[in-house]
Chains A and B, each alone.
Chain A
Amino acid sequence: MKYQKIGQPVRRREDARLLKGQGRFSDDWSVDGQTYMAVVRSTYAHAFILGIDVEVARSMPGVLTILTGDDARLDNLAPIPHSPLPSTKHDMKLEGPNGSEVFIGDHTLLPTDKVRYVGEAIAIVVAETLAQAEDAAEVVSVNYDPLPAVTDTAKAAENGAPTIWDEVPDNICVETFFGDKERTDAAFAAAQDVVEMDIVIDRVTGVPMEPRAALGDYNLDTGRYTIYAGSGGSVRQKREIAEVLGVEGDTVRVVSKDVGGNFGTRNRLYVEFPLVGWASRKIGRPVKWTCDRGESFLSDYQGRDLVTRVSLALDDAGQFLAMRADNLSNVGSRMVSLSPLSKGSGLITGSYDIPVAYLRSRAVFSNTAPTNAYRSSGRPEVTFAIERLVETAAAELGYDPIELRRKNLVSSEQMPYPNAVGMTYDSGEYAKSMDMCMDLADWRGFETRKKEAESRGMLLGRGFANYVESSIGTPREQAEIHVRADGHIDLVIGTQPSGQGHETSFAQVAAEWLGVPVNTISVIVGDTDLVKVGGGSHSGRSMRMAGTVIVKAADELIEKSKKLAAVVLEAAETDLEFHDGKFQVVGTDREISLYALAEVVGRRSDLPEKLSVIEDNVMETPVFPNGCHICEIEIDPVSGAYKIARYTTVDDVGRAINPLIVDGQTHGGIVQGAGEALGELCAMDPESGQPLAGSFMDYHMPRADEYPSFKTELNEVPSPTNPLGVKAGGEGGTTPALAVLVNGFVDALRPFGVRDIQMPVTPRKVWELIKAGS
């Protein structure tokens, strides 16, 4: 089928306001009489709270109220019902040690027993101005009884580590085995070669440029709470806020319009959102809270943090026989989401046909901020592990790394391909993507470029990685389509964009199906009074889930309208043809547009129906975006300073609805992955558990002058699992970037005896490796 609107680089509708400074981000909302909240946060990583003295603070200028965990308890505020266990049909299911139920633990808004990480909220101050609230928060005095703390992932799982939750004395809250132990053991025993690596993927954080913010407005007359707060999906926020506040769902309205980046960090509820609602009820005035950057470094849900030991068994011809992995994920001090562990568990074998595998997946508590899905949840970690492992196997066993990969790649003929741990890859042309990417990267010209760099005293390294990732996500989505007589169509949907351009790409899909111009479709998201159902935006689900349900709703709308059009045009339904947004009686010039029909329907009492449909869709089957990335890195051996000289990608996102948007997603994804490979790190003092990265001065955010322009292309292989053939385009940039870059550094530094480098690869680390090896 040839599409007219789908696949076009349509300008984004949302940009019309964003370009003029007329976006509406969370902190842009203000209501009359609003007050401001500041949060008192723990300065200890682990300590009993003996008492909180608020007397001095209470008497400070402008202070309206100070509330602690005791107050919250008196008011029966419930813990946040996070539901951290992935539970859709195709998720890898996790369980506690020895098959027990996973211990989750209460995520109390303001704990009264003990603090479990630096930055945990323990009290709130509400004042007339934010500066006054901050003045008072500074003098709230908390009496702590410090406890030993542990932040490091491996150490938290060791015997004798400090216990975060009494219910889980050894901190290990998940232990699940996947794959086939016996056959894996047998394959390893029979193998010609075994290569093993220990891999650490450290803690990073999402850093959306817009800090979190929430404005709570409790209406005394109606008893309703309105919370203006950007997130990854208002419907979920509303449900959980209501549960925390102990009220019926519809007593809470959550409004979010523009969201300044998410990357997973905003998917789950944060304590501050119900807190502003509660505080507003307590003082009878609206309460606004805006996170400052330092606070967000402490209290945003963070990402990655996986250690693993992986090993690969090969026969004498380099055929992969089996794989083992032992993944340990750090959930932080409170269990918010196990998505990263689960997602990664399903993809440990990567793009390769490895007949058997055995995997242990564990999760551990620690005295750190909770972790959550972070852009491409779980997949960059396991992609890193397998691609580093394959690269190392090639180097150590004397294979050409490209040939070794080719030999073991899952082929198109094997699709749909069930991997050794239970995921079934839907479609893809892995080998073709490799070829395309190598051509695009001028693979053959590398040696010449390397010589040229060497003539300038520089080292040039080349990195390569394949990847396959999964998009599962909440399976249910709902779309409403309302045709308005004024020539517009409203499309209501329950995803929440934070830059992905849903207002445009969804409109493209609806416009395609309804044969109307893209700009007549208004996509409505984010206000729970208008959007009742919706799965939010995460796991690369939005385009696929929404696209599918929009198509379904559009078909339904056409069906329904046809009946009405037949009445209005006084023709038989079978004589009607639908095209370009109108019904025409075949062979005549009698026609009526959807809008005209809406107008007639609205007017005529014998046609009581509105031109509206609500459609639900449940789609469980996951899709598997995939591709190949290549980079070149130039290193100055004198200082260890380096620059990324080239970066090339070929991605299979399934069908691309708007290539401009997909390109942008790829670029942004690459840089986000590269940031972690090159500099980002939530460093923590191992003794005290104090975070050492608390501002942009000590957290290395990627900047424009660090990167070249990338060459990106698509190899669109439509997914057979949904009518549009969509996979996902948001995570592919990030998923292999860590592996590609580290492979590139190791390639350049192998002459110095370097086998592996732990991220982030800083100039100093590079220099030290060169020094040690020369």
Chain B
Amino acid sequence: MKEIEVTLTVNKRVHTVNVAPRMTLVDCLRDILRLTGTHVGCEHGVCGACSVMFDGEPVRSCLMFAVQAEGHEITTVEGLVGEDGEISDLQDSFWECHAMQCGYCTPGMLISSHALLMENPSPDDHDIREAISGNLCRCTGYQQIVEAVKMAAERRQEGL
């Protein structure tokens, strides 16, 4: 199949790649751009491991083809880290609360919670659980993730 040239911005850097139309966005991120932080847990749109920010909104990158990303802006977990390599306050709360075990779902969880906090700076437990209900985690039982998101929100509110 003929490949198509696509130009997309990932974590503020512009890339031009050639992809077959059937290549999903997540495969492009992982296999061509070698950004392996975004994971694949199902390829059929349920687990959320492949979540990325697409034009500022969280989406599942296994449910998009890379050709559809032409001209769009993507942020992956690698892009949540500051310019200086410092982790974000949300990542720090995840760390402090032990919000990951194997860490496989973590990039997707971070993306979903990051999106939640942008929209709702003071979520309660229910809001958080709803926001991450599209992300499967087999290890944590979700509780320490909920605690981490709450901690990040509270710290932001307190201006810490």
* Residues in B neighbouring A702, C-beta threshold 8 A: 141
A208-B138 CB under 8 A given contacts A663-B144, A696-B47: yes
B101 and A19 contact, CB distance less than 8 A: no
B133 and A131 contact, CB distance less than 8 A: no
B41 and A21 contact, CB distance less than 8 A: no
Query: A708 — nearest CB in chain B belongs to which residue?
Result: B125
Task: Tell me the residues in window 635-674 of chain A with beta carbons closer than 8 Å to chain B beta carbons.
Answer: 660-661, 663-672
Residue interface bits B21-53, CB-to-A below 8 A is 1, else 0:
011000000110011111111111011010000
CB within 8 A of B42: which of A16, A667, A696? A696
Query: B130 — nearest CB in chain A belongs to which residue?
Result: A705
A667-B94 CB under 8 A given contacts A260-B104, A709-B125: no
A697-B44 CB under 8 A given contacts A667-B141, A667-B144: yes
A704 and B146 contact, CB distance less than 8 A: yes
How many interface contacts (CB-CB < 8 Å) are there between A and B?
181
A696 and B104 contact, CB distance less than 8 A: no
* Residues in A neighbouring B46, C-beta threshold 8 A: 695-697, 701
Tell me if A401 is interfacial: C-beta within 8 Å of chain B.
no
**Residue in A20, A24, A259, A663 with the greatest tally of chain B CB atoms within 10 Å:** A20
B132 and A11 contact, CB distance less than 8 A: no
Binds B, one of A434-442, A495-503, A612-620: A495-503
Tell me if B73 is interfacial: C-beta within 8 Å of chain A.
no
B86 to chain A, nearest CB (A): 10
Tell me if A293 is interfacial: C-beta within 8 Å of chain B.
yes
**CA A78 – CA B109 in complex, angstroms?**
42
Task: Tell me the residues in window 207-241 of chain A with beta carbons closer than 8 Å to chain B beta carbons.
Answer: 207-211
A209 and B137 contact, CB distance less than 8 A: yes
**CA A697 – CA B128 in complex, angstroms?**
23
B37 and A21 contact, CB distance less than 8 A: yes
CB within 8 A of A292: which of B22, B43, B87, B94? B43
A12-B95 CB under 8 A given contacts A20-B78, A21-B35, A697-B46: yes
| Number of A residues, CB within 8 Å of B | 60
**CA A703 – CA B109 in complex, angstroms?**
12
* Residues in B neighbouring A207, C-beta threshold 8 A: 138
Tell me if B140 is interfacial: C-beta within 8 Å of chain A.
yes
Residue interface bits B139-160, CB-to-A below 8 A is 1, else 0:
1111111110000000000000
* Residues in B neighbouring A21, C-beta threshold 8 A: 35-38, 76-78, 107
* Residues in A neighbouring B132, C-beta threshold 8 A: 704
Tell me if A25 is interfacial: C-beta within 8 Å of chain B.
yes
* Residues in A neighbouring B104, C-beta threshold 8 A: 23, 25, 208-210, 258, 260-261
A499-B41 CB under 8 A given contacts A671-B142, A704-B132, A710-B141: no
Query: B143 — nearest CB in chain A belongs to which residue?
Result: A667
Task: Tell me the residues in window 246-271 of chain A with beta carbons closer than 8 Å to chain B beta carbons.
Answer: 258-261, 263
CB within 8 A of A20: which of B22, B81, B101, B141? B81
* Residues in B neighbouring A293, C-beta threshold 8 A: 41-44, 47
Tell me if A591 is interfacial: C-beta within 8 Å of chain B.
no
**Residue in A668, A697, A707 with the greatest tally of chain B CB atoms within 10 Å:** A668
**CA A20 – CA B85 in complex, angstroms?**
9
A210 and B107 contact, CB distance less than 8 A: no
* CB<8 Å pairs between A and B, sample of 18: A12-B98, A19-B87, A20-B87, A28-B30, A30-B31, A131-B20, A131-B23, A206-B138, A207-B138, A208-B102, A209-B105, A293-B43, A499-B102, A499-B139, A701-B47, A704-B129, A704-B145, A704-B146
Which residues of B come within 8 Å of A, CB atoms? 20, 22-23, 30-31, 34-44, 46-47, 49, 76-78, 80-81, 87, 91, 94-98, 100-107, 110, 125, 128-130, 132-133, 135-147
Other contacts beyond A290-B40, A668-B141: 10, CB < 8 A: A15-B95, A20-B37, A21-B35, A209-B138, A260-B102, A499-B139, A668-B101, A672-B138, A705-B133, A707-B143
